[in-house]
Structure 1
């Protein structure tokens, strides 16, 4: 692995305006894969955004869904995943060596018609970090951040993922070995995982994902502490929300912003960054 620069004991500030590649570059390459992450780096993102799950044998891997998704993933044989068989392919019920055999990039995904098709797999988090760090070094690029979502819900404990404390411990074990904690943000809709993280690893940055219409105060009260980042659906952004968050020293980085017009509008409003499936649009944003 390419080593992180020798600032492991320090926590540098987040980018002034954070350009994040959602699931790497989902609009252009298969989501949550090494090729998608490297494409995002090529396009100049300052943060790689990704989703984490845990396999049956305790490996931390990248995937948004808790199962093999029939919409854009294939069986190891290359055949379609029957909708009625989805429950057979829950990631938390499969060892990683089995998960790795599924093809997650060769099937056309109509939601993202520009996505380049290629045979690829769900990678381990450690593979993503190693590949990304090697790419940065090879191309003499500045260090990026890693924004990692814990994909969990109370109803999914023990079925789709481990309980919050084990989830966080397994995730953090990888990140500590890779020595990248100064460049990590852990995000979640599930306040439980963020609470465990804040209690056990208070130095690590957190981001509260939000899709509800509760006030900032209500959501922070449920969380129980002040996160580094507040990350709502972009349609929930208002000047009042931005002002309230900034008054508390919280950055606001909305998701998932996929048009240049919306990016420009949100930047003018004063958001602190963007999360997009199309990080190729960022270059045009910077020119405007």
Structure 2
């Protein structure tokens, strides 16, 4: 694939120049943090209700490089943003996302649970988020439990194609999931869009597993509890990048900086802010 070739070429070049850069980089500097993508997990969810416009607007204001969003589907086929497969935790409603119509989902209050100042926040739609934020901030699209929504891969791909976000010049769209089969499908549907695989399972960090992921994925995104320097190096050697989640402390962010990851997925974008 073209995207794999470009990543590989970049890696080869970096290996050629690395002996020279090491001479000037013995001490980490604040500037080095700018090389790490700051990904606001479901928005700036340390400060606002997750997967809402309030959280995403705040992430943009806090200069995040990406917002991470969770995409599911309503009973009547609308792509919506919510993390859990039920609405119980993050709204004033109950029930499974896929059992509720878009009108029912949209009528729910998705903000009050976090704080009364967020009363009236709605569950956003996928197209609403694309239209509001593309060109302003990168968008990391997580396909949440796609096995529950047959055909959702084609729907997501179509929404991106309608906005020309399937083209290589729009590099700030990434699609990821814990469902590897779904990501293989997305790679075929959108061959120029970076694909990521999510895991918290150490079994997925073996050389064999990583080699398999590298045949269709551009990003390997593990939970930070299984990140090691060796893993980061292995991922990079296969031409992939590595983004880790979910950072909720400065200590966790600092650990991932030390490990040399390419992206930090965090509830608190200020913990990853290179200007600090």
Select the residue among 187, 193, 208 that pairs with 2:182: 193
**Aligned-pair distance for 1:34?**
1.2
Select the residue among 245, 249, 253 that pairs with 1:255: 245
- Which residue number corresponds to residue 107 of structure 1? 113
**Secondary structure of residue in 1 paired with 2:196:** strand
**Secondary structure of residue in 2 paired with 1:253:** strand
- Which residue number corresponds to residue 208 of structure 1? 197
- 1:40 and 2:59 correspond: yes
Q: Give 1 or 2: higher helix fraction.
A: 2
* 8 A contact 1:54–1:60 mirrored in 2: yes
**Aligned-pair distance for 1:222?**
5.6
Q: Does the C-alpha gap of structure 1 residues 260 and 46 become closer, same or farther in structure 2, counting only changes over 3 Å?
A: same
**Aligned-pair distance for 1:92?**
1.3
Q: How large is the Cα RMSD of the aligned pairs?
A: 2.4
State TM-score, norm by structure 1. 0.77
Once residues 258 and 20 of structure 1 are traced to their aligned partners in structure 2, the CA distance between those partners, rounded to angstroms, is 12
**Secondary structure of residue in 2 paired with 1:148:** strand
**Aligned-pair distance for 1:261?**
1.9
* 8 A contact 1:21–1:276 mirrored in 2: yes
**Secondary structure of residue in 2 paired with 1:175:** helix
**Aligned-pair distance for 1:212?**
0.3
State TM-score, norm by structure 2. 0.80
**Secondary structure of residue in 2 paired with 1:56:** coil
**Aligned-pair distance for 1:221?**
5.4
- Which residue number corresponds to residue 83 of structure 1? none
Select the residue among 29, 45, 52 that pairs with 2:48: 29
For structure 1, the 5+ residue unaligned runs are 1-10, 76-85, 110-114, 137-142
Once residues 144 and 239 of structure 1 are traced to their aligned partners in structure 2, the CA distance between those partners, rounded to angstroms, is 29
| Stretches (4+) displaced over 6 A | none
Q: Does the C-alpha gap of structure 1 residues 19 and 108 become closer, same or farther in structure 2, counting only changes over 3 Å?
A: closer
* 8 A contact 2:174–2:194 mirrored in 1: yes
Question: How many pairs does the alignment contain?
Answer: 241
**Secondary structure of residue in 2 paired with 1:170:** helix
Q: Does the C-alpha gap of structure 1 residues 217 and 167 become closer, same or farther in structure 2, counting only changes over 3 Å?
A: farther
**Secondary structure of residue in 2 paired with 1:245:** helix
Q: Deviations over 1:4-38 (max 9, x none)?
A: xxxxxxx9x9x842100000111111101111111
Select the residue among 132, 144, 157 that pairs with 2:137: 144
**Secondary structure of residue in 2 paired with 1:254:** strand
**Aligned-pair distance for 1:179?**
2.6
* 8 A contact 1:29–1:116 mirrored in 2: no
Once residues 242 and 281 of structure 1 are traced to their aligned partners in structure 2, the CA distance between those partners, rounded to angstroms, is 21
**Secondary structure of residue in 2 paired with 1:262:** helix
Once residues 74 and 263 of structure 2 are traced to their aligned partners in structure 1, the CA distance between those partners, rounded to angstroms, is 32
For structure 2, the 5+ residue unaligned runs are 1-5, 11-33
